Amino acid sequence: MKVFVTGASGFVGSAVVKDLLENGYEVLGLARSDASAKKIQKIGAEVHRGDLTDIPSLEAAVAKVDGVIHTAFNHDFTRFQKSCEEERTAILAMGNVLKDSNRPFVITAAAGAIATGNLVNENDRGKNKEIPRYVSEQVADELATQNLNISVVRLSPSVHGEGDTHGFVPTLVNLAKSKGKLAYIENGMNAWAAVHRLDAAPVYRLAMQKKAVPGTRYHAVAESKIFLKDLTGLLSKKMNLPLVALSKEEASDYFGGFLHFASLHIPISSKQTQESLEWQPTHPALFEDIENNVYF
């Protein structure tokens, strides 16, 4: 079976490609640059040149494979809304090629786009209006009604491991370096979920293999809730910097554009995913990665 993977050279996508190859699949990886192409070739996959805005290129790739896993996203947050709309267009285009074929299509969604105020499970569809990436959830439901074998992997807010340079933890580390301290907001009891990138990768493969109801959600979550106060507390010890509690007003100045994400309270369950896919996370937990100097 040959699988087209978007974001194949990325932090999560490259782990997905390796997992697929190790399990006997052929992989066609999307590359938008020479550097990405070289990385994909080094992993052992075939390269397909293009990007999420090159719709004819995406359609051509999808037409010649047996399944698609979509992990790509432009993480330039100065154009976040535009990136989300580009992703919607790309998903729709790939989905249109897959209609009526029963070929699996697994897309990525941000778990932070779900807002319930409680522990989020795989059945929840509550929209967080402040995160426009919810469009991937919407387009999944739209395609699910059109005879398409589509499922969704929701990634934890914190996906960690070697090579994590743009995620939540490195952002906290970089803020601490520039501000000279670690900080949390009010009592710091807002929680993030977390998963190691190498634990997240097989969720995509298992979701692709599963014959499930179109639009089924899976949660790539190893740790359901990690409180910001505990996380920043550990980072303060590792970096030998003071830890402070900030009011919402003070937090705006400290966190800047990261304030919304630093304020997120989104504990997430993966109980249904672990049971239905027979998946168990086995790689280091987030605090283990921090203790083992992955981020230093």
Residue 234 lies in a domain: yes
Task: Report yes or no: 259 and 251 within 8 Å, Cβ to Cβ.
Answer: yes
HSE value, Cβ hemisphere, 13 Å, CA-based, for 100 = 2
**Same domain assignment for residues 63 and 90:** yes
Residue 145 lies in a domain: yes
**Same domain assignment for residues 106 and 214:** yes
Task: Report yes or no: 197 and 153 within 8 Å, Cβ to Cβ.
Answer: no
Residue 277 lies in a domain: no
Helix (H, G, I), strand (E, B) or coil at 252: helix
Q: What is the pLDDT along the chain (296 residues), one digit of tens a residue?
A: 999 999 999 999 999 999 999 999 999 999 999 999 999 999 999 999 999 999 999 999 999 999 999 999 876 666 777 888 899 999 999 999 999 899 999 999 988 788 667 899 999 987 776 677 788 899 999 999 998 999 999 999 999 999 999 899 999 999 999 999 999 999 999 999 999 999 999 999 999 999 899 999 999 999 999 999 999 999 999 999 999 999 999 999 999 989 988 998 999 999 999 999 999 999 999 999 999 999 99
Q: How many CB atoms lie within 10 A of CB 72?
A: 23
**Same domain assignment for residues 245 and 101:** no
Report the alpha-carbon distance of residue 264 to residue 259 in Å, rounded.
9
Residue 93 lies in a domain: yes
Residue that the structure tokens 């990136």 belong to: 83
Q: Report the CATH number that the domain containing residue 257 is assigned in CATH.
A: 3.90.25
Helix (H, G, I), strand (E, B) or coil at 167: coil
Report the alpha-carbon distance of residue 107 to residue 16 in Å, rounded.
12
Task: Report yes or no: 65 and 28 within 8 Å, Cβ to Cβ.
Answer: yes
**Same domain assignment for residues 74 and 168:** no
**Same domain assignment for residues 189 and 121:** no
User: For 165-258, where are the alpha helices, taking DSSP H only?
Assistant: 168-179, 197-209, 228-239, 248-255
**Same domain assignment for residues 88 and 212:** yes
**Same domain assignment for residues 203 and 77:** yes
**Same domain assignment for residues 87 and 117:** yes
**Same domain assignment for residues 203 and 256:** no
In this structure, what are the phi and psi dihedrals at residue 212, rounded to the nearest 5 degrees?
A: -120, 170
Report the alpha-carbon distance of residue 71 to residue 107 in Å, rounded.
7
**Same domain assignment for residues 67 and 179:** no
Q: Report the CATH number that the domain containing residue 124 is assigned in CATH.
A: 3.40.50.720
How remote is the C-alpha of 111 from its chain's centroid? Answer: 8
Residue 275 lies in a domain: no
> Residue 75: what pLDDT?
66
Residue 85 lies in a domain: yes
Q: Into how many domains does the chain fold?
A: 2
Q: Which of 277, 7, 265, 256 is nearest to 120 (CA)?
A: 265
Residue-range definition of the domain harbouring residue 174 = 164-193+224-267+283-291
Torsion of CA 213, 217, 222, 225, to 10 degrees: -140
**Same domain assignment for residues 171 and 117:** no
> Residue 260: what pLDDT?
85
Tokens of 255: 């966190």
Residue 35 lies in a domain: yes
Report the alpha-carbon distance of residue 208 to residue 39 in Å, rounded.
24
**Same domain assignment for residues 119 and 237:** no
Residue 273 lies in a domain: no
Helix (H, G, I), strand (E, B) or coil at 9: coil
Report the alpha-carbon distance of residue 65 to residue 226 in Å, rounded.
39
How remote is the C-alpha of 192 from its chain's centroid? Answer: 13
Tokens of 262: 């630093």
